[in-house]
Amino acid sequence: MIQNKQIILAFRFLIGAVFIWSGIIKIIDPLLFAQDVANYRIFPQSLSFLIALILPWIEVSCGLLLVLGIWSRAAALMISGLLGAFLILLVITLFRGIDVTCGCFGALSHTVDYRLLLLDSGLLFLSLNIFFYQRRAAS
């Protein structure tokens, strides 16, 4: 894992900004996000609406915590969990051959494919580096 303070800070700002932006777009149009969730054909319609109402607020909150440097490890752990769950959902969707947009960025979302799998794996790598970062005690 990376132990450079400046690189971890850059990771925090990058991941934080991505999750703030993604969450705000979903908060603005929860019905579009609920439909995006339902399109995966994993969750019942009622659960899709509940996910669409709650998940964006978690994304924005964790993103803000990372940017502000408050409870960074906890926020990074939560984001890592979200990314891990989403990666599993992507793999299932790819294996099932469902043609769906990811729903990550509202109208700017793109089709679920292997590039999205790689992108989210990269984001997971960054968030895990934030979580496992060990601050060295001052001498």
Stretch (H or E) spanning 23: helix 5-28
pTM of the model: 0.88
- Among residues 64, 88, 80, the alpha carbon closest in space to that of 131 is found at 80
Please count the structural domains in the chain.
1
Looking at residue 2, its pLDDT comes to 84
- Residue 99 counted as domain residue: yes
| Percent of all residues in the chain with a pLDDT value above 70, rounded to a whole number | 95
- Residue 88 counted as domain residue: yes
Q: Which domain holds residue 49?
A: 5-130
- State pLDDT tens for residues 121-137: 999 999 999 999 876 53
Q: Across the strands, what pairs with 101? A: 111
- Residue 135 counted as domain residue: no
The Cβ of residue 127 has, within 10 Å, a number of other Cβ atoms equal to: 29
